[in-house]
Amino acid sequence: MGACALADCALRVLVTVVSTAVERGDRWRIEDVFKRPPVIRRRHFGHVTERPDLKFVSMSEEHGHLDNELGERKPAVGDKLTIVPNHVCACVNLHDQIYYYRDGLVEGSWKIEGRGKVR
């Protein structure tokens, strides 16, 4: 979105590719973890740090949909990707805890005290 530099974004979501179902040719992939945030019209819903060629284009319940629009190497089921979401409130609010990691290793977790408190 351009509101800050990518390095300024603290939250990243580790996702696993769970499907390579084909929609619109051979461009779509689906990953787990995300919940639907409030409806906000955006071109993309986040940045895939390892694969900027993939675009995070839509969501449905717990799944995010990636578009391999540049046609580069397709993600495979089981691939791990890190996504910096455009909107983290709904993602965080729908989980009991958040895990934090450094250099690929989980160091601990925090309980989400405000979980489900949105009215």
Phi-psi region of 36 (alpha: psi -120 to 50; beta: other; left: phi over 0): beta
- Determine, yes or no, domain membership for 47: yes
Q: What is the CATH number of the domain that holds 20?
A: 2.40.37.20
* Domain-embedded: residue 5: no
Indicate whether 110 belongs to any domain: no
Number of independent structural domains in the chain: 1
Alpha carbon distance 119, 116 (integer Å): 8
113 in a domain, yes or no? no
Domain-located, residue 107? no
Tell me: the pLDDT tens digits for 8-29? 888 888 889 988 775 555 455 5
pLDDT in tens, 32-79: 554 444 343 446 788 899 888 888 888 776 788 888 766 667 888 999
82, burial (CB in 10 Å: exposed 0-12, middle 13-18, buried 19+): middle
Q: Which pTM was predicted? A: 0.70
Residue numbers of the domain that contains 41: 10-86
Residue 77 is assigned to a structural domain of this protein: yes
CA–CA gap between residue 3 and residue 15 (Å, rounded): 24
